[in-house]
């Protein structure tokens, strides 16, 4: 039961991080964030110890706050789109 709860929370956090990283204006930041999120969750996929899972989730929540803050700052200081985005 506990693993199912952890699984749902982790999946929800993963989706929210991906959603928030899509809000970056800069293509480079957006792609970097997506790669880092996917790699981190893929690396920790095999964790079974609940204390380790909770520790990684706390770390991910801190990073989610950073992503939200940086995306907001990025909207304040817009730059031209790159050629690859047009």
pLDDT tens readout for residues 11-50: 999 999 999 999 998 889 999 999 999 999 999 999 888 8
Q: Can you spell out the DSSP letters for 34-85?
A: HHHHHHHHHHGGG---HHHHHHHHHHHHHHHHHHHHHHHHHHHS--PPPGGG
State the helix-helix crossing angle for 50-76 and 27-43, rounded to 10 degrees. Answer: 180
Query: How does residue 6 score in pLDDT terms, banded at 50, 70 and 90?
Result: confident
On the question of pLDDT at 75 being above 90, the answer is: no
Token pair for 53: 């899972």
């Amino acid at each position: 039961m506990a693993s199912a709860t952890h699984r749902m929370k982790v999946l929800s956090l993963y989706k929210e991080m991906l959603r928030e990283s899509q809000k970056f204006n800069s293509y480079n930041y957006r792609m970097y964030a997506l790669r880092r999120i996917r790699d981190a969750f893929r690396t920790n996929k095999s964790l079974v110890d609940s204390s380790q899972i909770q520790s990684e989730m706390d770390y991910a929540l801190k990073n989610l706050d950073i992503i939200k803050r940086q995306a907001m700052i990025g909207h304040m200081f817009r730059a031209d789109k790159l050629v690859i985005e047009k």
